[in-house]
């Protein structure tokens, strides 16, 4: 039996536009998302901002009711058995929010230990264990408002593990954390599966998913567009090659025209100060440098290079193919 199972999950949000002539719109944030996570697996939900990762995770942790479809955790429906599910899952999200800043880390942990039903006689030892796990021992009596982003994030993880849940949901836990802090957090996340926990991690950092996850589902514009191990996803683009072109001030229409060149699989655009880096993935054997540069005629072109594809290229290829959902 899978530990986490999503079947055709769909979630729409209703929003309004206009001041005097208000119009109601329905936006599909998640569209027919299905996946399964087995026991002890670290499963990554990878996608750009606004792809539907957080909406999916919020449905799984019972905070949002799906518009349609079902989700089960440890065999229990997240809508019908919400209280049962809540007692057995941990939820950690990234960023500055989610903590009582005026109080100490210890105050925060004690209150949540009580809310999650940790036995009073176990609370002191459990909190000490977790403070050691996340490297906050000795700082627990300080107010959270004085904590760095990395320390807050580690406190979040400690809070999410207080009741020793078998399933942990981590929603972009390293977002905004400095590189050293993020590396320490990733080591902590990796240790969760060593302790037998099943983990769902959402991230938009490719290397993080590659390093940590046993399997990855790539989500774009609310839909799962690819799923497999990091190796399987890389294999999707391994037979092609990648041309990188540094260019200054390229219009969107030009990039769209380049996408239409025969042999081009996908194009990603990365902004770098005043320049853009066009990352062009090509079919095997296609020599497209000349054709691509011809389309850029008139634009200032900098460095041009070619290289082997990476997992990030597989990700870019998957997410750039997905059409926008239509608002109704």
Partner 1 sequence: MTRLARTARLLALGWLFYVKMATRSAFDGLLGILYPLFFATVAFFMFRAGHDSKSLLYASLGAAVMGVWSSTSTTAGSAMQRERWHGTLELLVAAPRHFALVLLPASVAQTTIGLYSMLATLFWGRVLFGIGVSIEHPLLFAVSVLATVLAIGSAGFLLAVSFVRYRAAWALGNMLEYPVWLVCGFLVPLSLFPHWVRPISWVLAPTWGMQAIRESALGGSPLADAAVCLLLGAAYVLAGVLVVERVLGAARRRAALSLA
Binding to partner 1 by residue 65, rule CB under 8 A? yes
- In the chain, the N- to C-terminal Cα span, in Å, equals 37
Binding to partner 1 by residue 100, rule CB under 8 A? yes
Nearer to partner 1, 27 or 299 (CB): 27
Binding to partner 1 by residue 74, rule CB under 8 A? no
Of the candidate spans 2-10, 97-105, 177-185, 231-239, the one that interacts with partner 1 by CB under 8 A turns out to be 97-105
Cβ neighbours of residue 252 closer than 8 Å, sequence gap 6 or more? none
Smallest separation (angstroms) from partner 1 to the CB of 20: 19
The residues that bridge with 216 in the sheet, in sequence order, are 44, 228
Nearer to partner 1, 47 or 268 (CB): 47
List the one residue from 10, 13, 166, 238 that touches partner 1 (CB under 8 A). Answer: 13
List the one residue from 16, 19, 49, 83 that touches partner 1 (CB under 8 A). Answer: 83
Of the candidate spans 58-66, 189-197, 262-270, 316-324, the one that interacts with partner 1 by CB under 8 A turns out to be 58-66
Of the candidate spans 109-117, 182-190, 217-225, 295-303, the one that interacts with partner 1 by CB under 8 A turns out to be 109-117
What is the Cα 44 distance to its own chain's centre? 7
List the one residue from 103, 238, 261, 277 that touches partner 1 (CB under 8 A). Answer: 103
DSSP label at 316? H
C-alpha to C-alpha distance for 304 and 243, rounded to whole angstroms: 7
The residues that bridge with 227 in the sheet, in sequence order, are 217
Smallest separation (angstroms) from partner 1 to the CB of 122: 11
> In the block, which residue shows the tokens 């999503």?
6
List the one residue from 2, 40, 69, 98 that touches partner 1 (CB under 8 A). Answer: 98
List the one residue from 101, 270, 283, 287 that touches partner 1 (CB under 8 A). Answer: 101
Residue 68: phi, psi to the nearest 5?
Answer: -155, 170
DSSP label at 145? G
Nearer to partner 1, 95 or 228 (CB): 95
Q: Backbone dihedral region of 263: left (phi > 0), alpha (psi from -120 to 50 degrees) or beta?
A: left
Q: Backbone dihedral region of 297: left (phi > 0), alpha (psi from -120 to 50 degrees) or beta?
A: beta
Binding to partner 1 by residue 93, rule CB under 8 A? yes
> In the block, which residue shows the tokens 């567009």?
225
Binding to partner 1 by residue 141, rule CB under 8 A? no
C-alpha to C-alpha distance for 242 and 55, rounded to whole angstroms: 33
Smallest separation (angstroms) from partner 1 to the CB of 205: 20
Measured CA distances, 205 to 17, 151, 264 (Å): 33, 20, 24
Q: Which residues bind partner 1 (CB under 8 A)?
A: 13-14, 54, 58, 61-65, 83, 86-87, 91, 93, 95, 97-103, 107, 110-112, 114-117, 119-120, 143, 159
């Amino acid at each position: 039996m899978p530990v986490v199972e999503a079947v055709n999950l769909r979630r729409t949000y209703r929003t309004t536009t206009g001041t005097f002539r208000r119009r109601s719109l329905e936006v599909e944030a998640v569209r027919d998302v299905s996946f399964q996570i087995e026991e002890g697996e670290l499963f990554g939900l990878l996608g750009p901002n606004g792809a539907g990762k957080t909406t999916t995770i919020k449905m799984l942790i019972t905070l949002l009711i799906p518009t349609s479809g079902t989700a089960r955790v440890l065999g229990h429906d997240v809508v019908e058995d919400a209280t049962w599910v809540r007692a057995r899952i941990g939820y950690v999200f990234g960023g500055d929010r989610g903590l009582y800043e005026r109080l100490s880390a210890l105050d925060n942990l004690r209150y949540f230990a009580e809310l999650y039903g940790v036995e009073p006689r176990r609370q002191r030892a459990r909190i000490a264990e977790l403070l050691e796990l996340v490297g906050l021992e000795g700082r627990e009596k300080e107010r959270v408002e004085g904590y760095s982003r990395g320390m807050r994030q580690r406190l979040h993880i400690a809070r999410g593990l207080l009741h020793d849940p078998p399933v942990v949901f981590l929603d972009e836990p390293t977002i905004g954390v400095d590189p050293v802090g993020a590396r320490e957090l990733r080591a902590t996340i990796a240790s969760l599966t060593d302790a037998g926990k099943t983990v769902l991690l959402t991230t938009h950092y490719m290397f993080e998913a590659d390093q940590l996850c046993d399997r990855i589902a790539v989500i774009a514009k609310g839909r799962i567009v690819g799923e497999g191990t990091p190796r399987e996803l890389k294999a999707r683009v391994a037979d092609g090659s990648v041309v990188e072109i540094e260019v200054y001030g390229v219009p969107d229409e030009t990039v769209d025209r380049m996408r239409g060149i025969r042999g081009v699989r996908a194009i990603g655009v990365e902004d770098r100060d005043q320049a853009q880096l066009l990352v062009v993935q090509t079919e095997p054997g296609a020599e497209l440098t000349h054709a691509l540069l011809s389309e850029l005629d008139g634009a200032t072109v900098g460095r041009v290079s070619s290289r082997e594809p990476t997992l990030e290229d597989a990700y870019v290829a998957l997410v750039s193919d997905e059409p926008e959902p239509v608002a109704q």
